[in-house]
Amino acid sequence: MFALVDCNNFFVSCERVFRPDLEGKAVVVLSNNDGCVVSRSNESKAMGIKMGVPFYQVKHFVDEGKLHAFSSNYALYGDLSSRVMSLLADAVPKIEIYSIDEAFLHLDGIDPETVPQLCADLVAKIRKWVGVPVSIGVAPTKTLAKIASHFAKKYKGYKGVCMMDTDAKRLKALELTPIDEVWGIGRRLAPKMLEKNVRTALDFVQRPCEWVASNFNINTVRTWEELRGRVCHEEEREERRKSICTSRSFADMIEDERELVLRVSDFAAMCAQKLREEGSAAYDVTTFMYTNRFRDDLAQYFPSVTIRLDVAANSAQEIVGAALKAFRTIFRQGYKYKKAGVIVSNIIASDAIQASIFDFDDELRQKHDRLSKVMDAVNSAAEASGSASGRSMLRLATQRPGHYADGIRSDFRSRLYSTSLDDIIEIH
């Protein structure tokens, strides 16, 4: 059996942990630059606010006092997520963290009769110790556990835990689940399903396997099998990413070349940092920039260029150097840039780097690697101590001082209650 633990309206719930006065009120959390709604409370859903709606379309509710809006506070959300996951890890033999707000629990070896109480205790414990409400769905497969968690979240009578432990419960749940809500189907395949008169998960599993295989791919067949109770999704294996992208839309359009150099340097340094964290290195570094495609009155330009390194690298010096070389190739005066970013690709394991026999910079590269380790150690310590400089205390001269997030609009950001001593909650 599997249990899928899902934090309810996670970003909103995180904001409410330190603002209990917001319980029962309409709350939304916004994307970077306060662009659109990415998390909604049940109350804001009841107001008709849709996921992904541009913030300017609902800002009047904030002005009228009917809605509370928050800018994304990923440091806070990440910290509370780690607290939730640590409680889950203590309760079961093995967990798989699926996303920042979801985790699969492996219940093998646990007495089935004790599972309902175990899950109920987890719901209560996480709510009390962390402050975040969660829903838990228990079923024979991960896909069914996903469906069960939706029922646990949607219907209060379950008290946060839905057990799909009989075939009758499975069939009833499938009958009530629209096909576009099935994990592995979603909105991408749903239109094709609807064309073939498959409207619910039950309609889908009642089709022969041969029909599924002839109309869809092997992953859809696995979903069909899982809905019938046969485990097909084994433990997710962490595979090395094929590319890493760091990009931002700017709060205001930028024309100044010097300012863009600072931004691109930041993005490249973050890519290099992620490579080192994952034990990877990259051969290709791509820099891209966009003007504002919604401004028909402005000249448009969407350039990008890739630099191939002779030897795969993950040091900030080499990745930033390549990104800036690409930037200087594509930058043109006279345009107002709204977005820029850096992509590193053609990624390999850092312990598999092979130098060319014509590589005359090996000694310099080793110095860069040693310096990167020092920078990582100092910046990690600074971040852990709650320093205002965070992970950019030590940086290259081409980077901006302060947080990487500088320049991103966040007019409604809450405090870093749990990760910064400067923002710790005050009791009067």
DSSP per-residue string spanning 284-315: EEEEEEEE-TT-TTS-----EEEEEEEEEE--
CA dihedral 215, 221, 227, 228 (to 10 degrees): 100
pLDDT, position 32? 77
pLDDT, position 209? 94
In the chain, where does the domain assigned CATH 3.30.70.270 lie?
A: 77-227
What sign results for the dihedral spanned by CA atoms 150, 154, 157, 160? positive
225 within 8 A of 204, measured Cβ to Cβ = no
What is residue 418's three-state secondary structure? coil
Fold adopted by 77-227:
Alpha-Beta Plaits (3.30.70)
Fold adopted by 9-72:
MutS, DNA mismatch repair protein, domain I (3.40.1170)
Residue whose C-alpha is closest to residue 327's, from 271, 369, 420, 265: 265
pLDDT, position 237? 47
Q: Which residues, other chains included, contact 71 with Cβ-Cβ below 8 Å and sequence gap of 6+?
A: 29, 30, 34, 409, 410, 411, 412, 413, 414
0.85 cut: is pTM over it? Answer: no
- How far is Cα 235 from Cα 195, in angstroms, rounded to an integer? 33
Task: Return the beta strands (E) in 12-139 as ranges.
Answer: 27-30, 37-40, 68-70, 94-99, 102-106, 134-139
23-29 long-range CB contacts below 8 Å, 24 or more apart? 25/68, 26/61, 26/66, 26/67, 26/68, 27/67, 27/68, 27/69, 27/70, 28/58, 28/67, 28/68, 28/69, 28/70, 29/69, 29/70, 29/71, 29/72
pLDDT, position 31? 86
Which CATH number describes the domain made up of 243-392? Answer: 3.30.1490.100
pLDDT, position 75? 85
Ranges in the chain, pLDDT < 50:
237, 357-358, 360, 403-405
With b meaning 16 or more CB within 10 Å and e meaning fewer, what string describes 399-422? bbeeebbebbbbebbbebbbbbee
In the chain, where does the domain assigned CATH 3.30.1490.100 lie?
A: 243-392
33 within 8 A of 408, measured Cβ to Cβ = yes
Which region, left, alpha or beta, applies to residue 287 given φ > 0 means left and ψ of -120 to 50 means alpha?
Answer: beta
Residue whose C-alpha is closest to residue 400's, from 250, 274, 297: 250
CA atoms within 13 A of residue 395's CA, in its CB half-sphere: 22
319 within 8 A of 264, measured Cβ to Cβ = no
